Structure 1
Amino acid sequence: MTTIAPSPLLHAPGAVATADGRTAWHYGGPLKEQKAAFESGALFDRSDRDVISVTGEARLTWLHSLSTQHLTSLKPHEGTETLILSPTGRVEHHANVYDDGATTWLDTEPGRGEALLKYLELMKFRTEVEIKDETAEWALVTTTGLVAAEDESDHPLARAPERQPVPVAKFASKDLLAVPTAVHPGAPEDAGWSRRTDALRPGTYDRLLPRADLGRHLEGPHRIALAGTWAWDALRIAAGLPRFGIDTDEKTVPHEVAHWLAAAVHLDKGCYRGQETVAKVHHLGQSPRRLVMLHLDGTDEHPPAHGTPVSLDGKEVGHIGSAVQHYELGQIALAVVKRSAVADPDVRLITGDQAASL
């Protein structure tokens, strides 16, 4: 993927850069930023995410055949999520999706776009689609609670996202509609688009805009409160939202992640790579691991690092994905653990020097 210069929002007062120097870790008050973003509204600079476009009349049918989501029924200016699996059902790619009627846009984790782009290119065969890395030209931001159109009942973004319930094992096909399991309403902008996800709280919106326009959020009528990646991680962990490759690993199957199973997987669609594993786990058993949120006791002032073991009765049962200090909940983390270890909701776990509970 294209190497991208640091975000112009790093010029905001108080900005402290992330380790890779591309966006802001915080703007001087990480806990205040979390509170403001959740209670009143703020803008998260997510311009480090990789962006891919797919054009051509066959784009949705083609992506439908490759991934876990039901995409042939995705309407113009709607979004969703999808996964691409290995032949054995392990999650190899995750992407948020938006179709504007002519182009399907995929945004994925920073640094993961190149592998996704290569995979899509390999799977083109004779399909008439064009795939392009758009990261140099387009950037993603997320706002909470700040879209005036939400008050306009006839505006597309006034409609809350729709999600089908996850069906029980051995369900009847009629129980799951032939549409995406999660539908995020969207609307075109002067340049780019907006997509309502309600991911962090009701009134959470993603926006794709020209990268050259990022700096306008520092000035004039476009200036709004900014929140860094620390605040983003705190609110998404509290909401149970994983980061692919951070809170998951090479062994992860969709059933380990409750959010993905509900939002990115359609359990009754045509054949795709890894479908056999998804169906088998859903109908015949449970995944051996789960992604869970942990509350830490705070005896160590620093949240545990990525990969820190999680143990039960002296035996390692999992590891930390991402951990953070939350403005209200204290230290929280997402961790992949053995399902058998957390069968009791009152279980007491240990990670690093801290006790942890579900």
Structure 2
Amino acid sequence: MGAAYSELPGAVIDEAGLQHLGNPVVEQRRLASGEALAPLGDRAVLAVSGEDRLSWLDSLSSQSLAHLAPGVSTEMLVLDPQGRVEHAASVLDDGETTWLIVDRGDAEGLLGWLRKMRFRLRVDPREADDHAVVGGTPAALANISPAAPAGLPLVWTDPWPAVAVGGHAYAAVEPHPGADRAWAEAIVTHEEETRMLQAAVAGDLALAGLVAADALRVAAWRPRWASEVDERALPHEVDWLRTAVHLEKGCYRGQETVAKVHNLGHPPRRLVALQLDGSNSVLPVRGAAVRVNGDEVGAVTSAAFHHEEGPIALAVVRRSVAVDAELTVDTEDGVIAAAQEVVVPPDAGATANVPRLTRLSRRPAAQ
């Protein structure tokens, strides 16, 4: 990290970066309203230069990138031959370089794979370790100066939950809970990151931690490589066809499985949103068992305390789990009840045209 966030009063920091400043719930409200920015130390930046960069990335990934216009935000997945997710990246091109924002734990693996796939093409993938990532609403990001090496500010605007051209939505609720989440991520130099920290220390700028940023993501049902992806993950299972997969583009690794599951079959697992019993204020860890009548049927992928909804989680469960099943989740303090809200329905895939359902109103904020 390029800035010393330990200078901030109340800062809690670990190897991923600034976790919070003492009150994650207040930080969430400020982040959601555009009053704060979040240094995303758990992200890394890769850069791909060269004349063939877009057509090359198009051939390797799930997204249609060959004609991506400068400044347009999208995302891509790299799949294995069986269609399982191996890597994920947010994508932005500035006319000279394609910039990839990735989860830090995925950066080395993705970069290594891209370098192996260059062959004789005019491409140069590299780690842009002289840059950092800052998240917040587009309005809040106006308070800092993103990098702009080609004259175009490097601000990636999250397309979630809109359905991109060539994409498909499985979540059957309207409005989608992510519709109210205005989220963008700016690529900044370490000098700009330091200036942002100095403004925060002086009281001229409010910051929020990773805990707050992730709670807003979980409430929006937004999948992430670091959380929702395991060795079996298919994009269909977490509704990632919505923004990261182009179903009508040319051939790429894993495409056959993507098409078969979407057109002829069903994903074996499905994402659910959980409203957790908050009486003892404990959250399950990633990987915690989700059960029906004591039998394990899935696992928690993300959990958070949300400023409006209280304790919530995302989990991947077997497709066969009934949508009205009474679920429980294991925690270090024992088993807690979990009310299920369907994200990906059991019939997603071959019968994907599920009716839209009105979403239940959010429950009152936890006291």
Instruction: Output the TM-score relative to the length of structure 1.
Output: 0.81
Residues 207-356 of structure 1 mapped to structure 2, 5 A cutoff: 207-220=186-199, 223-258=204-239, 260-341=240-321, 343-344=322-323, 346-352=324-330, 353-356=335-338
Percent of aligned positions that are identical: 44
Match of 2:24?
30
Match of 1:143?
136
Distance 1:12 1:181, change over 3 A: farther
**AA matched with 2:136:** T
Distance (Å, rounded) in 1 between the aligned partners of 2:163 and 2:106:
29
Instruction: Output the TM-score relative to the length of structure 2.
Output: 0.79
Distance (Å, rounded) in 2 between the aligned partners of 1:44 and 1:163:
21
CA offsets 1:55-114 (integer angstroms, 9 cap, x no match): 011000000000000001210122210000000000000000010000001111112111
**AA matched with 2:8:** A
Distance 1:52 1:275, change over 3 A: same
Residue 354 of structure 1 deviates from its aligned partner by: 0.5
Match of 1:72?
66
Distance 1:148 1:324, change over 3 A: closer
Match of 2:354?
none
Residue 40 of structure 1 deviates from its aligned partner by: 4.1
Distance 1:203 1:316, change over 3 A: closer
Distance (Å, rounded) in 1 between the aligned partners of 2:238 and 2:6:
33
Secondary structure of 1:33's counterpart equals helix
1:63 aligns with 2:57: yes
Residue 347 of structure 1 deviates from its aligned partner by: 2.5
Distance (Å, rounded) in 2 between the aligned partners of 1:202 and 1:330:
17
Residues 138-217 of structure 1 mapped to structure 2, 5 A cutoff: 138-144=131-137, 145-147=139-141, 165=163, 201-217=180-196
Residue 301 of structure 1 deviates from its aligned partner by: 2.1
Out of 320-329 and 95-104, give the one that drifted further: 320-329
Q: Answer whether contact 2:32 2:181 (CA < 8 A) is retained.
A: no
Q: Answer whether contact 1:199 1:239 (CA < 8 A) is retained.
A: yes
Q: Quote the RMSD (CA, aligned, Å).
A: 2.7
Distance (Å, rounded) in 1 between the aligned partners of 2:266 and 2:160:
26
Q: Answer whether contact 2:46 2:100 (CA < 8 A) is retained.
A: yes
Distance (Å, rounded) in 2 between the aligned partners of 1:219 and 1:201:
30
Distance 1:351 1:133, change over 3 A: same
**AA matched with 1:208:** I
Distance (Å, rounded) in 1 between the aligned partners of 2:99 and 2:336:
41
Secondary structure of 2:105's counterpart equals coil
Distance 1:277 1:302, change over 3 A: same
**AA matched with 1:206:** E
Distance 1:122 1:40, change over 3 A: closer
Distance 1:254 1:202, change over 3 A: closer
Distance 1:162 1:239, change over 3 A: closer
Distance (Å, rounded) in 1 between the aligned partners of 2:161 and 2:179:
16
Secondary structure of 2:65's counterpart equals coil
Residue 8 of structure 1 deviates from its aligned partner by: 2.3
Residues 93-132 of structure 1 mapped to structure 2, 5 A cutoff: 93-132=87-126
Q: Answer whether contact 2:178 2:219 (CA < 8 A) is retained.
A: no
Structure 2: 5+ residue runs without aligned partners?
A: 144-151, 170-176, 341-367
CA offsets 1:208-236 (integer angstroms, 9 cap, x no match): 11023212113349942111111011100
**AA matched with 1:278:** V
Match of 2:84?
90
CA offsets 1:265-318 (integer angstroms, 9 cap, x no match): 000010000000000001002101012211101243220111110011221110
Out of 107-116 and 275-284, give the one that drifted further: 107-116
Secondary structure of 1:111's counterpart equals helix
Distance 1:7 1:160, change over 3 A: closer
Q: Aligned residues, how many?
A: 316
Distance (Å, rounded) in 1 between the aligned partners of 2:307 and 2:162:
32
Distance 1:115 1:357, change over 3 A: same
